[in-house]
Structure 1
């Protein structure tokens, strides 16, 4: 039964896919086979050991280029080369294994230590390539291959050393010549070919041809045979390394090696006249030497040019930065001579750089400061400090070309350049800033004078106002006392004409006079609290509060119940002011209580974390004491809890008062470095608190 068309198409597609994936392996195997058969044309000691072995370099490049996954191509090619040479399957398998391991290890070592295909960009990575790949990995193939030949009876053990040396030299030279040439030529973009470069390349090719002809092919007719003519190959290699880079160097080494092998095989040149294998070994030593020398020299030149380009770029960048700097930058040597003068310095001193360079820095310093400047620079040079501000106590003075002096600020730094100490000063003109600073100081002095004058005038006005207020108070209180006295006298007399209605009027007159007197007294107390600074010291609160309670009958049973919970602490304050403060708070706690409720007041204290309350007398991190006065009164609405501490603010008009008491409490507490506040809810009483400093 025939297969369906779909099955045939699938098989064909898989076959094409396999062929496509296998093409690189098969191509490498074919190239390896062809190069191997070419190399075996130069054997003499053993049919499997050649001093000329191009496949090693080709295999290394292939695995670097396409990855070590291409190793089957190396194995197949090496196996075919050997099976077609010896006909022995076992030895061919082992030799192919050695060749494959050599290529894989060489590629891995290059990837690990030399950057892979970038091994020939710097001299350091190239030397690593020589050690690890060219000289190191090639020993694997020589060890396995020669051992296999001896064990398989294809070579006598007595020839192990010569065969091993031949094998290893062939592989090493292939890595040193073939691999670099392929990588350098085909892994980098080709440079633009100018007429000048083409002529120089053709000239190099002509020189190599002439040297090769004279040294390796025909020889010099007048030179004895034992003359070291191979040294004539060195000048073209140096020319190539210096002028044409790594491409020219490796190409010159390859051509010179090819000419040397050609001449030696024709029994001509300095390496002929020995046994064939010995002659080829000498050629390979020569080839490895010139390849190593040419590439190393080319890479050193390349490294130097790269470093010079980087240095020139850095110098250009530094020059651009210095030229575009808005501050003047001047560098001097140890002899005080100017070695660098930027554009900002030209504008600042009105001197061209060409006229300033080489001149002594003294020309830009006023004569009276020159000696001090020299001592400063010399002293700075001995400190070892990298950078330091100049003129730490004020601005410096510089001198322009026309002799004009101007203020500057500057910093100085020091650095060694090629063994010579260089001092660099960065400076700027601060004329405008100095002028502005002088104007600011003048304005500040004027402002201070104005403030002092106005303060003195204000103090004078306050003194006059105080005198006037005391006079008014005195004049107001005199008629008030007369009103109180006469009203009381009339009320005390048993007068028939005093009707109940007139008696009520007299009581109202007396009550109003009393309220007026209290208002004047509180106003005077508040004025004194605002004006006077209170002397502070330790105050025993327990004794103070107890004394207040004992002094006022309305604070004692049965009118009120005031309990002191625990022990009240010692605080920092003024005893008289605290007496006034707590008298007001305790009096309010008793007064603002519903008529049908017996006033109950609790007084207690607690210690709080040390925090500065922000007041002028407060101290950071000092311990604070909070005293609570808790009552069962009518309470205070939330909107009034801050307002009641202001002047003439009363939350309850149904109770007598002047509206000054709590304002007086806040003022005296703040003068003692404390705070006062309240927590309250209408109908549930109030909790007043006072924060004071502990001793």
Structure 2
């Protein structure tokens, strides 16, 4: 059994490492196969350059593979017959020696066969060459030697062409064509001539005085066969374009017809050969140029082969300018002529093809560039239209609360009862909050568009956000007569806590705004390794055809009873952009008249026993502010007066200034040192910044004073500059309670550092 298993393993190994193109096999399963160097299922054989399968024979259906399959079906015999027939015809023209002929097309057939079929075709070449030479002249030994030379000539030539000149693609570039010509001229063909003539001389079939002449004749015959026959056979056999277009068929037929006519005129024995007729031989350059410039390498090689046949036939029958008294000399002149027109024409055709392909690539690149430019232009036009719409909608929605503020302020200027005055102040505060929400929405959209929001992914309990939602919307839902239910969960999630909080706040805020009766439910459901956070409402619902539109900017559905001033329609647009930023899935289910359900999927993190929730800070009013000096820097007198008055009401000692120089002067006059600096980001009409002013004051006082920057600029630069310097940036309009909380937090941190500072 072990012996049988070993035999089966060897058989399988042989199949895996077998190259079906050149019939080579290492015989073992190994990734370091000397013949097939690719470790994947398909390998490229180093010997023949053919892509071969590592399995039995499932090769790709390329034109080359299709040709080889046709050869497998019986073409091998046909190749041998063609080789034999052409060899017999060539040897019939031998004059200097029965085995040395100037016309030897079998070299081209053999080289093309090895390039197309693979090295496994070598036995056919060897047998055909041996039979031809054995039945022509010499002995069995010399026939075997000559056949060996012919076979080695084809194998070595094909190997070097595969290795150095691109294999079947050798006629696609001028460099590879030149390499092909040099391989045939200098390396491959001398092998056959040298082995053949040496064996004949050793056997006494060639005189020493005739050796050089016979060797040159043999060599040039092989060179011409390789340079003229091989290109035509390889290009037609491996071409993927088989003249399917009528225009191509007509042009190919035209160039071949012109070549035949020119060849007959220049070399036909029917026309009397005179000195005035000799220059007509140069006319063959015309169809060669036509083919090279217009039809590509394949038709160029075909025209060269056609002209070679006509030229050889005409010269051998006494026509054309190459006819001499010595038949061998005439043949050699024909060979030199054919070589001199074929190689340059192939070089020219390859160069033209390279240029055509380059122009085609440039044309495609230009089309692609024009397409991208058109797309970009359209995007810019859409962006410009969206910007105009953005400004128009923002202007409209912001004017509503501004208009109401003007009316409320006008009411305050009139005599009002205490209850009416209190009610008007509450309305003014509600309007301010509405404007603050609108500006925050615009700020969020601006920051998302600028790409400056970078998520900070952490693990935290979802209960923290749920409690914030319950606290934030409890009063608003009570005022509208709605029921708010927030079902707690002990799950931990992985996300950005602040951004996820903004998503949930926007979803609940949207539900509160559009729900007229009933209630809102916020809860969580586990779905595998995801937590599904759901927001249910009993609002009017969303039409099916509007479910995608509601996530667009400035899109709003009109409920029966709109909010007093409405919103800007940015809440759900912000939700959609934030969930894309966090890579969280969101879905919507809604029924008209029944309500809607928004759900967002968040990854679940491992639960933790100890909570890491931050301890809630006491209310700002609980902190003592007596003796705290706050420096306010703003170049707008209205901002100085408003900020200074508010901070004074809170109990701070306030100094206001329009610049850092003025601030230093007032600090020196009062002999005070600020505990906190509040500065506008843009100062002196935008020529300097609050960061520079703070740095100047810190440098003058020799300390680092906590600072808050306030800016109405939503560009990414202020936020980045403030973050780099370690300052807090608040965007206008600033909620007073937000400002108060930040101030107290900074002052507490400063007091804590002072308490822990070692005594000097």
Q: How does the TM-score come out when normalised to structure 1?
A: 0.46
Larger Rg: 1
